[in-house]
């Protein structure tokens, strides 16, 4: 559904990403070390899952990792958003 809406307008996809990744962070550029790359951060959390079997269920804790989404490239050295993502996260 998101892919279909992204073709119609990229604004919907960006709104969804901004709701899930709710904290804006300024990070250092991996190439020029200038602090000016806007990144959205999603914090990790501990959730609960339930497995159900014949007549019984079991609830257990699971850890969900956080993540980052790069919003802008570097204005100082001119690197694009995809180049900065590869430099920061491999």
**Number of folded domains that form the chain:** 1
Which residues, in sequence order, are bridge partners of residue 60? Answer: 49
Measured CA angle at 15 (ends 79, 7), to 5 deg:
75
Q: Is residue 9 part of a domain?
A: no
pTM of the complete model: 0.58
Q: Is residue 11 part of a domain?
A: no
Q: Is residue 30 part of a domain?
A: yes
Q: Is residue 15 part of a domain?
A: no
User: Is there a contact between 37 and 83 (Cβ–Cβ < 8 Å)?
Assistant: no
Instruction: Give residue 84's domain range.
Output: 23-89
Q: Is residue 42 part of a domain?
A: yes
Q: Is residue 79 part of a domain?
A: yes
User: Is there a contact between 39 and 29 (Cβ–Cβ < 8 Å)?
Assistant: no
User: What are the 10-residue block averages of pLDDT along the chain, 90 residues in total?
Assistant: 47 69 83 86 86 88 87 87 87
């Amino acid at each position: 559904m998101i892919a279909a809406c992204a073709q119609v307008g990229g604004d919907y996809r960006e709104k969804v990403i901004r709701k899930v990744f709710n904290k804006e962070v300024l990070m250092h550029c991996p190439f020029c070390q200038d602090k000016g790359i806007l990144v959205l951060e999603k914090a990790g959390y501990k959730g609960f899952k339930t497995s159900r079997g014949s007549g019984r269920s079991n609830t257990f804790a699971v850890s969900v990792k956080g993540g980052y989404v790069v919003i802008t490239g570097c204005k100082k050295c001119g690197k694009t958003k995809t180049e900065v993502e590869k430099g920061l996260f491999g």
